[in-house]
């Protein structure tokens, strides 16, 4: 199953609604799509979603890496040499995790197609579906309340609230959303590194009665000591997100008990192969995991879903990054029913449509 041709495309896609988080405002995303074709005529797809503050990459940089490194390495290689391919890319593309993820998921797509099964079954097939949270960005409390009620009416029963800019407003908003949606809806909070240690502890104290399921990355990603202190004092599970990029990060966080949970994002970790190692480290340390996402196409959301379905210690999903994306060429790859994500039954990642793309960079 040798690779004969590869193509890479760049698309700038607009969000149906802009949103704010602690460190930026977002109204669009720039995505890259990799198409790999084998001598048997099978086609595998992968996608990169670079976010400079998180992955350290740009779309322009990834396209350059594709032309100079990725394409030459892939041509003529056997798809089932994926570990060798990914190891070589890792040594030649340091600091480009979403570019690595793009290649990784296309290779896994092809391997599962060859096996004739959906990817999650090839990876382990632990479950068939998983609930996802849906995100409410930083916005005035009244608007957040309206969105929360709307999402619950749509069938979502896990809400992820963004904050980290205003401690008092965050506490008040969480209390009011809890009152508005009732006790059965699960609430998660993500500060996106916006708090000091003192603010994080004050937030946790001020929202005890709201019964949060978890609090994500309250302090700066490089301050693991602060994260550990907060985790040790919190009555709520604390999750590391931006602090975790590599396998070594997972080891350090797990060894030092810096968090109760970790957020594994394929775009941060470099794809499914690396994410599997991270999941194993967390499992060995008794740390449960969530599979999260950036603003992404349904293609890479599908890859995250297949990975999440394959591992028993992945108990949470936050895979809603495709829902507000306009003109997603892979729209429809992931089905949502009453807040649960359900993968395609088709082999591989599940794309069965036809695409027409033009390279944008």
Quick check: 163 and 137 in contact, CB under 8 A?
no
φ/ψ of residue 326, rounded to 5: -85, 140
In Å, how far are 234, 301, 314, 316 from 250, measured between CA atoms? 21, 22, 14, 17
The Cα 210–Cα 187 span in angstroms is 8
Q: Which of 114, 186, 221, 265 is catalytic?
A: 265
Report the C-alpha gap between 189 and 198 in whole angstroms: 17
Q: Does 265 qualify as catalytic in the annotation?
A: yes
Spot the catalytic one: 162, 173, 221, 268: 162
Helix intervals (H) in 13-166: 52-55, 59-65, 71-74, 82-92, 97-115, 119-123, 141-153
Burial tier of 174 (Cβ tally within 10 Å: 0-12, 13-18, 19+): buried
Strand partners, 25: 20
From CA 271, how far away is CA 264, in angstroms rounded?
10
Do residues 82 and 111 make contact, with C-beta atoms less than 8 angstroms apart? yes
d(CA 203, CA 209): 11
Catalytic positions, please? 162, 265
């Amino acid at each position: 199953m040798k690779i004969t041709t590869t193509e890479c495309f760049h698309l700038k896609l607009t969000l149906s609604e802009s949103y704010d988080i602690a460190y930026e405002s977002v109204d669009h995303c720039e995505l890259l799509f990799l198409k790999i074709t084998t001598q048997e005529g099978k086609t595998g797809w992968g996608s990169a979603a670079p976010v400079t503050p998180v992955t350290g990459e740009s779309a322009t940089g990834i396209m350059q890496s594709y032309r100079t490194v990725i394409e030459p390495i892939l041509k003529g290689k056997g798809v089932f040499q994926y570990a060798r391919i990914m190891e070589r890319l890792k040594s030649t593309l340091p600091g480009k995790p979403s570019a690595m993820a793009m290649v990784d998921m296309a290779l896994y797509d092809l391997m599962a197609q060859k096996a004739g099964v959906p990817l999650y079954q090839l990876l382990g097939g632990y479950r068939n579906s998983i609930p996802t949270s849906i995100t409410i960005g930083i916005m005035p409390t009244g608007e957040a309340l309206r969105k929360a009620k709307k999402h619950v009416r749509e069938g979502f029963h896990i809400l992820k609230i963004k904050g980290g800019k205003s401690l008092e407003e965050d506490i008040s908003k969480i209390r009011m959303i809890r009152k508005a949606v009732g006790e059965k809806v699960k609430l998660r909070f993500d500060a996106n590194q916006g708090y000091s240690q003192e603010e994080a502890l004050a937030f946790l104290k001020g929202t005890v009665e709201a019964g949060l399921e978890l609090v994500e990355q309250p302090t700066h990603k490089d301050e693991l000591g602060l994260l550990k202190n907060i985790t040790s004092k919190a009555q709520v599970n604390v999750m590391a997100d931006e602090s975790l990029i590599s396998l070594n990060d997972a080891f350090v966080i797990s060894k030092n008990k810096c968090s109760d949970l970790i957020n594994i994002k394929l775009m941060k970790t470099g794809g499914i192969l690396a994410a599997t190692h991270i999941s194993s480290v967390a499992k060995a340390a008794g740390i449960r995991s969530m599979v999260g996402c950036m603003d992404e196409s349904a293609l890479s959301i599908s890859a995250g879903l297949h990975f999440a379905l394959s591992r028993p210690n992945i108990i949470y999903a936050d895979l809603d990054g495709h829902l507000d994306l306009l003109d997603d060429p892979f729209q429809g790859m992931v089905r949502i029913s009453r807040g649960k994500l359900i993968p395609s039954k088709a082999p591989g990642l599940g794309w069965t449509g036809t695409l027409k793309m033009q390279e944008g960079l």
